[in-house]
Chain A
Amino acid sequence: MRPNKQRILQLTLSYVVIIAMVVIILYPILWIIGSSLNPGNSLSGSSIIPSDATLKHYRELFDLEKSNYLIWYWNTLKICLLTMAISVALVCMTAYSFSRFRFYGRKNGLMTFLILQMIPNFAALIAIYALANLTNLLDTHLALILVYTGGAIPMNTYLMKGYLDTIPKELDESARMDGAGNFRVFWQIVLPLAKPMIAVVSLFTFITPFTDFILARILLRTEEKFTLAVGLYELIADQFGNEFTLFAAGSVLIALPISILFLSLQKYFVSGLTAGGTKG
């Protein structure tokens, strides 16, 4: 009798905690959705779920004459996709070299990568700002893509190298016996086998620029060049509250697609981050 009673108590307590957590998690999400449907520009005196809900803020965001939101979306996607493509290519090449060849300078190279991945690249923000200024790359997307890609190389090379190390070298050797050169082994043997890790690296190198605020904020000056993070911040920073409902609609339109993408690919994130943490 007693264990059973204890078990019921335990389950009840668990459900209380779970319900509390679900409320804490969902409340901000529901509040922002409610705000985005609010007909006014500010929130003063409105209830969480407005009785006269409207989609006008969404329409305003999609109106190219009234708002730069779509341009920001396009900028962000462009920067993220290019960063992803270039990073994946460079990471695969460096990781393959580190994993398969024993060459002069390899040890020092790996050590450099190890130390570089510890320093977040925005720590050198003064330098990045000054250098971009000198090279006339300030306020260009190219500068951002280069900085993001450079910052992504050390950590992701480590991830990729760790994975390539687990692919048996006998496969390479048998291909070489059949007359394949270095590049062919890379392209036709190693890369296809590394697909799961390529997926992880792609995800990371896409999502990092997407969620970055600081570098984009430093490098981008004109409103038409902004990424979503900077644009959304500017939308409310100047006159906080006055355009809050518009901001809310903008937030929902970012959160929704990214959350769906994220939830459907979640297992890659967990496996990638775990590998990154334990493999170094």
Chain B
Amino acid sequence: MGEQGNKPSTNKRKIALALSIIPGFGQFYNKQWLKGLIFLVLTGSFFVAFSDLLQFGFWGLVTLGSDPAYDHSIVLLVEGILTVLITILGLGIYVLNLNDAFKVGKQRDLNEHPNSIRQQYQNLVGGGFPYLMMTPGFLLLIFVVIFPILFVILLAFTNYDLYHSPPANLVEWVGFQNFIEIFQIPIWRNTFFSVLAWTIIWTFGATTLQVALGIFLAVLMNQKGIVLQKTIRTIFILPWAVPAFVSILVFAGMFNETFGTINEDIMAIFGLGDIPWLTNPTYTKIALIMIQTWLGFPFIFAMVTGVLQSIPNELYEAAEVDGATIMQKFKGITLPLVLYATAPILITQYTFNFNNFNVIFLFNGGGPAVPDQNAGGTDILISWIYSLTMTSAQYGKAAAITMILSLIVITVALWQFRRTKSFQEEDMM
């Protein structure tokens, strides 16, 4: 005894661990027959049920097929991902088995009595409840969200396009070639950087304008002595209330060069009745930013109005006693408080516009076409991905660009969430 007082004299935990390399045997050794049987049966049925899939799944994932007459590369890719997911599940159960055998073995080493079957059952039901509740949601999430994401990631490393598409042809792994080509082949490089540049200008231009207008109007409407305050506020919310796809299509009609009211009725007053809104990229861009401002400011307006109403009046009164001007009050009190309260939402507005497919596509289909690139003049990354997928069948490239886009979004979003308070709260995690 002495120095070894704390160490158990037996080595049941190690034996149990070693035995459970074949799932179930460790539990048998620990005299937990039912549990061992469950593990054993589970493992057996796992191999019986999935042996074909496991065998062909990995083969298909690695080769993507060898004979175009029999093998459909995309089906093989999907089955491959499924195989990987199932394997991960299997490994999870296996680790659970090792872990359990070791833990019970350790309890026996320390001469503690392992839980009886009844206790185990109660543990399972009590501890299993949250898993049970989450299973439907998680399963759906795996199949319609996680599965597609894995698929896109893998697709980015294949040459899947019009000329390499099943059933006539096979798809092959090409490594980083898609990424390299996007940055090396002149037409792809030109397109990528001009689309990226416009995406950034668009995101910052449109979002900043809508935020500024929203805050400005909220402050304006918060003045004392404005009549019909409630009615005007409701009118200001209207662009948000109308579904965006309707408004955008209506705007597409208004800006139409042959019958649209903007040229026909409004610009005609100034003698400028023939502005090429839809055929000149610069004018289309201006129109898009104005439209998004119209669409987006009401939300900011509504939110900031809420914040303003919660700022105590004493702050302004105190400032007035000190002789502050309107601008000083706005800069010193209103703006900091509003920005502090709404900063996280403002950032989500930027990420929203970064991916604002609707306004770009519905207004002018990303067009007009411009020379020397394979995207329209007002295409942002997400609408370019759409047209690469749906019209020119450049799936591999589209997937690679999707990955670049997601990387940008996740970086910004993580940076934002690290700053929010709830991320640091201990209980959140």
Contact = CB atoms under 8 A, between A and B. Distances in A.
Interface residues of B, number: 96
B250 A32 contact: yes
A168 interface: no
B144 A146 contact: yes
B261 A31 contact: yes
A232 B245 contact: yes
A90 B148 contact: no
Interface string B390-429: 1000010011001001100110011001001111000111
Interface in B119-141: 126-127, 129-131, 133-134, 136-138, 140-141
Contacts of B145: 116, 121, 124, 150-151, 153-154
Interface string B139-158: 01101111111011001000
Contacts of A75: none
Given A32-B250, A118-B410, A157 B75 contact: no
Given A263-B237, A274-B303, A134 B74 contact: yes
Interface in A209-262: 210-211, 213-214, 218, 229, 232-233, 236, 240-241, 244, 247-248, 251, 254-255, 258-259, 262
A254 B422 contact: no
Interface in B373-399: 382, 385-386, 389-390, 395, 398-399
Contacts of B144: 121, 128, 146-147, 149-151
A1 B319 CA distance: 21
Interface stretch (A22-30, A53-61, A62-70): A22-30
A189 interface: no
A232 B249 contact: yes
B151 A127 contact: yes
Given A28-B247, A232-B249, A125 B389 contact: yes
A154 B241 contact: no
A274 B243 contact: no
A214 B357 contact: yes
B311 interface: no
A111 B414 CA distance: 11
B41 interface: no
Interface in A166-207: 182-183, 186
A29, A121, A218, A277 interface centre (most CB from chain B within 10 Å): A277
A18 B232 contact: yes
Contacts, number: 267
B209 interface: no
Given A10-B326, A21-B217, A110-B429, A278 B151 contact: no
B157 to A, nearest CB: 13
A122 interface: yes
Contacts of A26: 235, 238
Interface in B239-269: 239-247, 249-254, 256, 258-259, 261, 265
Contact of A150 (B141, B241, B414): B141
- Binding site of B, secondary structure by majority: helix, strand, loop or mixed? helix
A24, A110, A182 interface centre (most CB from chain B within 10 Å): A182
A244 B245 contact: no
Contacts of B152: 123-124, 126-127
B41 to A, nearest CB: 23
Nearest to A13: B220
B312 interface: no
B15 interface: no
Contacts of B143: 146, 150
Interface of A: 7, 10-11, 14-15, 17-18, 21-22, 24-26, 28-29, 31-32, 35, 42-44, 48, 90-91, 93-94, 96-98, 100-101, 103, 106-107, 109-111, 114-116, 118-131, 134, 146-147, 149-151, 153-154, 157, 162, 165, 182-183, 186, 210-211, 213-214, 218, 229, 232-233, 236, 240-241, 244, 247-248, 251, 254-255, 258-259, 262-263, 266, 269-270, 273-274, 276-280
**5 closest Cβ contacts across the A-B interface?**
A150-B144, A127-B148, A277-B345, A124-B148, A118-B413
28 contacts: A7-B225, A25-B238, A26-B238, A42-B259, A48-B261, A97-B133, A97-B134, A101-B130, A106-B429, A127-B148, A150-B140, A151-B144, A153-B137, A165-B427, A214-B386, A240-B256, A244-B259, A248-B250, A248-B253, A251-B246, A255-B246, A259-B238, A259-B242, A262-B241, A266-B302, A274-B345, A278-B344, A278-B422
